[in-house]
Structure 1
Amino acid sequence: MRKIVSLFTGAGGLDLGLEAAGFETAVAVEMDKWACQTLRANRDWPVFEDDIHNVTSEDLKSAGGFNRRAPDLLIGGPPCQPFSKSAYWSKGDTKRLDDPRADTLTAYLRVLRDLKPKAFLLENVQGMTFKGKDEGLKLLENIIQKINEETGSNYSFTWQVLNAADYGVPQMRERVFLVGSRDGKVFRFPAATHQDPELAVDDLFGYPTWNNAWDAIGDLVNAPESKDPKLKVGGKWGALLPSIPEGKNYLHHTDRGDGQPLFGWRTRYWGFLLKLAKNKPSWTIQAQPGSSIGPFHWDSRKLTMRETCRLQTFPDGYHIEGGRSEMQRQLGNAVPSLMGEILGREIRKQFFGDKLDSDQLKLIPQKKEPCPRAKRVQPVPEQYHELIGEHAAHPGTGLGPVARKRKLATAT
């Protein structure tokens, strides 16, 4: 199997997908203790439980067996922080990658320079590519150019924002993926394999529609863990959840929705009282949701960890360590494993010329038919009736109370 160096490994979502594609994690670096416990409980990969800045390239070479050869692939998803130091790096040489002030992206590039992998894969939030906020991309381009000049390599990369639902993941999750090779080969991202059913073209050659939540977790509705009393949604708003239809959120209870006018339009986070629909993919799994932030199960409860793993396309039997908050954080921060499998197969074919044994993906959910109808909603509990009335809508971007406070603080 082709060997991987994995940075910012987390619970191993990307690694598990690449494993399904024929790669093997030779060494991993992760500083979160619960994620490290998860990795060790499921796999025997060598794991450095430390900040990447404290792990030397020589440590990685030794632990991964790369003293005489280069890794096949370097992977990682540096934490999505603002890359505010790009100006500092824009005119320096690559020796600055060893500076302790380096951020997570430059730490990734330091390993790229020192281990010279044949290819690399980097995942991050979509905002990394937004105009005016693309410091990370510019930093990546600048330093890779300097690495090439210093080492004689020919690294290049391409990037694309991918929605996981377009590739069979039962979750709408947009992230940017960057893929590059040491010899300058240009990576061609695979075309989407699934389509939004509302935009689907009904012909013999159309793509299948998105895999939905029922496909992923429909067989778990009567699993013993789904009856755990700890899954009950508590707090101030938990009792309101049964009055919201599948696939809706608090906006149902505004003057523009079909429920009772309990809230102002767009005055809450999108995830507030957000409920899964059986016939649609899940919304993005959150790493640190509040007590009222979903997505919640269509049965008006919290998702079990097994259900969350399914929505992230982790292989069955993979166990997440820690309490509920630690498990939620690990899964919410993970890359859906199916995305790793799909990209890993393309990397093998395009960069290494490997012939794959089968076209069948190992981690893709299978369609479960028929999908039951949505349940009828319950009336709004009496305890919320005092909220019925007129509520002002959000005034618009940059005009809300939080934005006004920020402007006032800046002015003073």
Structure 2
Amino acid sequence: METFKLGELFCGPGGIACGALRAKSDDGSFTIEHAWANDYDADTCETYRKNICPESPETVHCGDVRGLDIQKLGKITAFCYGFPCNSFSNVGKHQGFENEKFGQLYWYGIEVLKAYQPKWFVAENVSGIRSAGSGDFEIILNDMHEAGYKLNVHLYKAEEYGVPQTRHRVIIVGIHKDESVKYRVPDPAVYAKCDVTARTALSNIPKNAPNNEVRKLADKVVRRLSYINPGENVWQAEERLGEDFPSELRIHTKTKISQIHRKLDPNKPAYTVTAAGGGGTFMYHWTDRELTNRERARIQTFPDDYEFVGNYSSVRKQIGMAVPCKLSEVVITAVLNSFAGIDYPWIKANLEEDE
């Protein structure tokens, strides 16, 4: 039996770690334990400490990664990082490496790979990373390859893997070149019977679950929501109702963002939980109210006893930035099965891999 020691950069509130610690190979021969983690946000780090490593809070290094002494973090045999996606999101300007503040933070993960040569790593980012900048994605992959890793790159659709949310993310799995191990993308057909509807995801939340307070909305917002059908946003409601949609409730903006006052459809997966955004982008229940943070956490597949630290807006941001725990568990279980030599169901047509 082998237990991989996991290090993380940009760890967020622990979505990857929560899934990783639940993962194990089908024969039980490979598991994972936390070694160290880093994030720059104080509330986020406290959330991680409280839920992932309460007995060793000192292993979470809170601060800007650019001031982190990577050489002193400690030996690891596995590594995960969801490097900041601000430069690569389709919602943004696709600045890529031209964005000096965020565009090159991926490099600190490369430094970790070079310093500790873990047996495997997982890196996650938004789907837009593939087309950001001028060949930026190819540069990232080349740097990972030169650090000593065989790569498997795939666009994962979370709703196909038991996550009640249409969240599409590029995940890169790297296996050290010295390991005679080949990772395959797990077949989503295994999860075809999972109920990923929002109705099921948000049902039976315990009354004492943390972070479940309902935020009071302005009367005008409640009135606006009353005209919007489940699954619609405000623009679709206006188009459907025409002159019957009250003029004082209309929103006059140049850009029509699809998530503005958009309600969940109870019979479909939720739309993507996000961290950023202003008024009207906070996700709305089909019963004319904003989602609670616990409901957002449910959509991100955090367990009900996972307690987030911070005020309402801080917690909302943490949840939106996280990797869904279930998706992390699926991918990392496949990694562990690969090391165990277990032939799990995988996608035969995945061509985005480095031989």
Same fold (TM over 0.5): yes
- Matches of 2:102 and 2:128, distance apart in 1: 23
Give the letter aligned to residue 84 of structure 2: P
Alpha carbons 1:4, 1:27 under 8 Å: kept: yes
Q: Show CA shifts across 1:202-237 (max 9, x none).
A: xxxxx3265111111121397798995x52222853
In 2, distance between residues paired with 1:227 and 1:60?
35
Q: Is residue 169–residue 211 contact of structure 1 (8 Å, CA) maintained in 2?
A: yes
Residue in structure 1 matched with residue 4 of structure 2 by the alignment? 2
Gaps of 5+ in 2: 24-30, 89-94, 346-355
| Contact 1:166–1:210 (8 Å) recurs in 2 | no
**What letter is aligned with 1:218?**
S
In 2 relative to 1, CA 208–322 (structure 1 residues): closer, same or farther, beyond 3 Å? same
Q: How does 1:106-255 map to 2 (within 5 A)?
A: 106-130=107-131, 133=133, 135-148=135-148, 155-183=149-177, 185-193=181-189, 207-208=192-193, 210-220=195-205, 231-234=215-218, 237-255=221-239
Deviations 1:343-376 (CA, angstroms, capped at 9, x unpaired): 11100011343799xx9xxxxxxxxxxxxxxxxx
Deviation at 1:342, TM superposition (A): 0.3
Give the Cα–Cα distance (whole angstroms) in 2 for the partners of residues 225 and 143 of structure 1: 41
Aligned-residue offset at 1:40: 1.9
For this pair of structures, how many residues does the alignment match? 318
Alpha carbons of structure 1 residues 287 and 179: separation in structure 2 relative to 1, 3 Å:
same
Partner of 1:401: none
User: 2:175 is aligned with what amino acid?
Assistant: S
Q: Report the Cα offset of residue 2 of structure 1.
A: 2.1
Name the aligned partner's letter for residue 18 of structure 1.
Answer: A
Indicate if the aligned counterparts of 1:86 and 1:136 stay in contact, CA closer than 8 A: yes
- 2:79 corresponds in structure 1 to 74
Residues in 2 aligned to 1:101 and 1:258: alpha-carbon distance in whole angstroms:
43
Cα offset, 1:338, TM superposition: 0.1
C-alpha distance in 2 between matches for 1:256 and 1:304? 28
Deviation at 1:41, TM superposition (A): 1.9
Q: Deviation digits for residues 149-183 of structure 1, max 9, x if unmatched?
A: xxxxxx12111111111111011111110001002
Greater per-residue strand proportion: 2
Tell me the secondary structure at the aligned position of residue 79 of structure 2: strand
Corresponding residue number in structure 2 for 1:35: 44
Deviations 1:109-138 (A, max 9, x none): 0111111000010000100012x6464421
Percent of aligned positions with the same letter in both sequences? Answer: 28
Structure-1-length-normalised TM-score: 0.69
| Structure 1 counterpart SS, 2:5 | strand
- Alpha-carbon contact 1:251-1:257 (below 8 Å) kept: no
State TM-score, norm by structure 2.
0.80
The residue correspondences of 1:10-409 to structure 2 (distance < 5 A) are: 10-21=12-23, 22-42=31-51, 43-44=53-54, 45=56, 46-61=59-74, 66=75, 71-82=76-87, 103-130=104-131, 133=133, 135-148=135-148, 155-183=149-177, 185-193=181-189, 207-208=192-193, 210-220=195-205, 231-234=215-218, 237-256=221-240, 260-261=244-245, 267-353=255-341
1:364-394: per-residue Cα shift (whole Å, max 9, x none)?
Answer: xxxxxxxxxxxxxxxxxxxxxxxxxxxxxxx
2:229 is aligned with what amino acid?
Answer: P
Deviating beyond 6 angstroms after TM superposition, the runs of 4 or more aligned structure 1 residues are 221-227
Note the C-alpha offset of 1:19. Answer: 0.7
C-alpha change, 1:353 and 1:53, in structure 2 (3 Å) is farther
Query: Larger Cα Rg: Structure 1 or Structure 2?
Result: 1
Contact 1:180 1:186 in 2 (8 A): no
The aligned amino acid for 2:174 is: G
Aligned amino acid, residue 72 of structure 2: D
Is the CA contact (8 Å cut-off) linking 2:124 and 2:172 kept in structure 1?
yes
Query: How many angstroms apart in 2 are the aligned matches of 1:158 and 1:283?
Result: 27
Q: CA deviation at 1:53?
A: 2.0
Q: Is the Cα contact below 8 Å between 1:20 and 1:341 reproduced in 2? A: yes
Q: 1:140 to 1:300 in 2, by over 3 A?
A: same
Q: Which has the higher contact order (CA 8 A, sep 6+)?
A: 2
Given the superposition, is the C-alpha separation of residues 277 and 226 from structure 1 closer, same or farther in structure 2, using an over 3 Å criterion?
farther
CA distance in 1, matches of 2:209, 2:15: 25
